[in-house]
Structure 1
């Protein structure tokens, strides 16, 4: 199979409003601008892949089986927005967890890039021509370590602004709508890297 780009998306705070440790489908709702952003990204024809840390499994807040309902509702919500969810990858680990099967350091918990590499291998994704959209700098670092271009949503969810060589996004936007418009612009032949100083609050 030929390699192709993809668009990776963080889940909570990016696609969905951030409701901590939620696995109830009826409580899942789009973050501001996310439905329009997904519709814009759908026009690219690229696979849309959700990459999410789910430490609630390791912390015994919910079971790994409960994430099946989250996956199904995500698929429905993407369809409602006129898009298609190609895959949902999640990390159930946390080094301070209490569940013996998941309480460990791993290579899939963001900011590590393991989930992106797993998706790339399974779906023949060219990471160097792909994008990662997230709402905190751990998303940016995971994307950049995997070789992707990155968009940080400057929506107030990043509070520490801990900098570093992997934690500078290619672009900053207020929400998924802005990110979607920028990526569509880039894929149509615009500036492929963009300006990391586009929004306020850029990391040092």
Structure 2
């Protein structure tokens, strides 16, 4: 796809678990939140350039009865305490079989976040750690960057339009000039 299809970057949206913070399955305990390498620095770089930031996360633990909404909100508050304020937050509480429009790989959360920010999805990027994150970005018309973790499947890496070794590299990739010489 190439960066020429994304002329202006106005927002970078992030998956939460496995991308901004270490993935603790169905985490409802703010004390278990640990930020990923380069998360703080990457967000500071974006914010210093006036680029909006947001977090969009599937939280099926709510639909499964494992988590309560207030627990997810408490974890989100802790993420924000550690990483600074985000311009937009959203999470999908549904189960995969609910077939909602918000659960990634559906584009609903990205489209809604962009509407709330007053931008077109084509002016946003979404950074995540699994294929459904990038499928949601593509379906929304946003740029998607995969930052693999040990749980990312090889097929997801192979299918990703853009892959970065870590968050700092993903942000650098997004901040490159569209007409630049590439990586």
The structure where helix makes up a greater share of residues is: 2
Deviations along 1:141-190, one digit per CA (max 9) or x if unpaired, are 100111111111123231262599xx532x21111111122222237x63
Q: Compute the displacement of 1:15 (Å).
A: 0.3
Deviations along 1:11-42, one digit per CA (max 9) or x if unpaired, are 00100011111121111011122222222222
Q: Compute the displacement of 1:5 (Å).
A: 2.4
Deviations along 1:118-161, one digit per CA (max 9) or x if unpaired, are 11222212211211111111111100111111111123231262
| Aligned partner of 1:54 among 34, 59, 66 | 59
Q: Is the 8 A contact 1:49 1:85 kept in 2?
A: yes
Q: Secondary structure at the match of 1:85?
A: coil
RMSD: 2.3
Matched pairs, number: 176
Provide TM-score, normalisation by structure 1.
0.78
Structure 2 residue 133 is the aligned partner of structure 1 residue 132: no
Change over 3 Å in CA distance of 1:71–1:132 after alignment to 2? same
Q: Compute the displacement of 1:6 (Å).
A: 1.2
Aligned position for 1:92: 93
Deviating above 4 A after TM superposition, structure 1's stretches of 4 or more consecutive aligned residues are: none
Aligned position for 1:109: 103
Change over 3 Å in CA distance of 1:61–1:160 after alignment to 2? farther
Deviations along 1:83-131, one digit per CA (max 9) or x if unpaired, are x3112110000045xxxxxxx2211110000111111222212211211
Structure 1: where are the runs of 5+ without partners?
A: 97-103, 196-204
Aligned position for 2:49: 44
| Correspondences of 1:1-204 after superposition (within 5 Å) | 5-79=10-84, 84-95=85-96, 104-159=98-153, 161=155, 168-169=160-161, 171-186=162-177, 190=180
Q: Compute the displacement of 1:63 (Å).
A: 0.8
Provide TM-score, normalisation by structure 2.
0.86
Structure 2: where are the runs of 5+ without partners?
A: 1-8
